[in-house]
Structure 1
Amino acid sequence: MASAGLARLHGLFAVYKPPGLKWKHLRDTVELQLLKGLNAEKPPAPEQHVRFLPGPMEGSEKKELTLTVTSVPTLVDHPLVCGPVFTSLKVGVGHRLDAQASGVLVLGVGHGRKLLTDMYNAHLTKEYTVRGLLGKATDDFCEDGRLVEKTTYDHVTREKLDRILALIQGSHQKALVMYSNLDLQTQEAYEMAVSGLIRPMNKSPMLITGIRCLQFAPPEFLLEVQCMHETQKQLRRLVHEIGLELKSTAVCSQVRRTRDGFFTLDDALLRTQWDLPSIQGAIQAAAPRVAAELEKSLRPGPGTQLLPGPGRPWDSEGPNSALGQEGQVRH
């Protein structure tokens, strides 16, 4: 931690993960670029040691030698002698993205790795754009998966899709209140609900806090989903189940995370910016916002009353499928 460059690397920053790139490879690439940048910094001037070196005596015709006091640099710490100063650097990864998904991926360096744990414990919502394609079903819910069924979709309308999305959102919001384990009869809990600060007390199934259709041009449609505790596979399954509720089928052609907690696409560094100066700047710029948002999210609501759990633990209940706690919706 003696390097000034390394001292400015403590914190969180976001990068944009392109589709087709595994998160482990991305992390290793960022780590390698940071090490290159740190080792490329100009090393401090070497220490000077006093040595008595033999040399010819001035004015002597007999080539007599004498010892002369000389200051010479020590080469013990020179990179060509001891190798690179930095050989490893721990980079932590926040909420992960699978290989097919793209979007905002939060990384932490140094003390920022602990902040990643704080982000996890804060149960912050994430936002995705999910693109679906009507008319076919595959074994893995992806467009390029093995085709298992083809259907018609001429009867599907924007109104039918919006109605199903509203039912999904309502069902998941009920589940969110249940998993938050709060007494909504208190004023403080009501204020938390109004400000959107209700969070699950523990790990829960995927909870959708908001979902709407951004584009509808059959066979394609684009959804915006705000959720927590999700995986990208669950989001693809959500598209599949929406297709079934529309009396058709659907596959997912794109999953793109546009926000992870308090990091958005505007904060995400592109691949050409995965270098030491850009990452240092991103960490310094995000530090005040990270501290403020985590303090607000992790602070318990004053006076909120925790309700006793039912006979079985909270984790055992929740939406029976991606569509919601009440099972498949009907229309």
Structure 2
Amino acid sequence: MDGIINVYKEKGFTSHDVVAKLRGILHQKKIGHTGTLDPEAVGVLPVCLGKATKVCDLLTNKDKTYRAVCRLGVSTDTQDMTGQILQRGDFSRVTQERLKEVLESFIGDQLQVPPMYSALKINGKKLYELAREGKTVERKPRPIRIHSINLIEYRQMEGLFTMDVTCSKGTYIRTLCHDIGEKLGCFGAMESLQRTRVGVFTLENALTLEQIEVLMKQNELEQQILSVDALFPEYPAFQIRDEFAAKLSNGNPLLEFFLQDYPERVNTTGIRDLTEGQEFLVYDENGCFKAVYQKGDRDLRVRKMF
């Protein structure tokens, strides 16, 4: 199978566990996930199958949306409630108005220090491995972007609030909860996390491993697999002219006049109007999706071939 399947990762599974189980269910080895979710987190995990594994790195760049529950008044070593409690604070004076004000202050470009309990590597070793050895190392702040934060519920007496966060890749929601607590002056740690969207993939269309196994046995799974080109609805799409088909099949650089508009998709941008660095889709002479190309200063260069 070639394409992307929207998996609902359940609690207790790592992203690698999901891939391993899918290999058994689908009876194929070429499978890759598109970004890790902590074992305690649940939600959307797009998984690439077959030729679609080539777009795993492109999918990790997509914006993501999370629903997180944060507990005020506590700080832990993991920045969530699975860790050891380090400090406690008084959250009784944090009003809903003050909480909204602080949440809104995190919207936009930020520098975030990754947590020690993360899969980032320093000198070839994952940070969480060092943390389990009782070691703490310096981590450089990384640029992230918070597109929006919406307060869904605040239970002031319990110090619990629920928020929806849409953010760029590389954002740690655990760290965001921690930083919100710091700014409020009472500490904070993540209680639970659900990823509700990755790019075009949403919670409503996600399938559990059990559901995938049933559909596979019923020979009804293929209709749940999204084609690679469907991941990029915003990309302009063009088709190779018949006389230049060989150049596309070999992944060669192309010139603008080699291409024509792809009739199955409506473009708002013509091939000559693309800006340098802009990516677009290319279909072969038979209308089959073949590649993601990128406009260079003199020609059009292949980004990914399929």
TM class, shorter-chain normalised? Answer: 0.5 to 0.7
Quickly say closer, same or farther: Cα 1:132–1:155, change in 2 above 3 A. same
Note if 1:289 corresponds to 2:233. no
Q: Does the 8 Å contact 1:208/1:227 carry over to 2?
A: yes
Residue number in structure 2 paired with 1:259? 197
- For 1:20, the equivalent position in structure 2 comes to 12
Structure 1 residue matching 2:225: 3-state secondary structure? helix
Match among 1, 11, 16 for residue 3 of structure 2: 11
Structure-to-structure mapping, 1:144-183, within 5 angstroms: 144-172=82-110
Question: What is the CA distance between 1:305 and its match in structure 2?
Answer: 10
Q: Say if 2:110 and 2:143, in contact at 8 Å, map to a contact too.
A: no
CA separation of 1:97 and 1:271: change in aligned 2, threshold 3 A: same
Matched, 1:142 2:83: no
Q: C-alpha separation between the residues in 2 aligned to 1:162 and 1:305?
A: 38
Letter in 2 for 1:290: L
Mind listing any 5+ residue stretches in structure 1 that lack a counterpart? Answer: 1-8, 36-87, 174-203, 307-331
1:126 and 2:118 aligned:
no
* 2:193 partner SS: strand
* Shift of residue 281, structure 1, vs aligned partner: 1.8
Q: Quick check: which one's helix share is greater? A: 1
Change (3 A) 1:293 1:238: same
Q: CA deviation at 1:287?
A: 5.7
Q: Superposed, which structure 2 residues align to 1:1-331 within 5 Å?
A: 9-35=1-27, 88-120=28-60, 123-172=61-110, 205-218=143-156, 219-231=159-171, 234-275=172-213, 276=216, 277-283=219-225, 289-293=230-234, 302-303=274-275
* Secondary structure of 1:206's aligned partner: strand
Partner SS state of residue 100, structure 1: coil
> What code does the residue aligned with 1:11 have?
G
Instruction: Give the alignment's Cα RMSD to 1 decimal.
Output: 2.7
CA shift in 2, pair 1:99/1:305, >3 Å: closer
Deviations 1:231-276 (A, max 9, x none): 5xx2111111111111211111111110001100122112321222
Per the alignment, do residues 271 and 288 of structure 1 end up closer, same or farther by CA in structure 2, a change over 3 Å counting?
A: same
Question: How big is the shift at 1:141?
Answer: 1.0
**CA 1:271–1:100: 2 relative to 1, 3 Å:** same
Using the size of structure 1 for normalisation, the TM-score is 0.57
**Contact 1:12–1:115 (Cα < 8 Å) also in 2:** no
| Bigger strand share | 2
How many residue pairs align between the two structures? 209
Contact 2:22 2:209 (8 Å CA) reproduced: no
Work out the CA distance in 2 between the residues paired with 1:206 and 1:171: 6
Tell me the SS of whatever aligns to 1:244.
Answer: helix
Answer whether contact 2:52 2:228 (CA < 8 A) is retained.
no
Give the SS at the match of 1:13. strand
**Cα offset, 1:14, TM superposition:** 0.8
**Residue-by-residue CA offset, 1:14-37 (whole Å, 9 max, x unaligned):** 1000121111111111110112xx
Q: TM-score, normalised by structure 2?
A: 0.62
**Alignment-derived partner of residue 244 in structure 2:** none
Rounded Cα–Cα distance in structure 2 between residues aligned with 1:260 and 1:11: 15
Do the aligned partners of 1:93 and 1:107 also contact (CA within 8 Å) in 2? Answer: yes
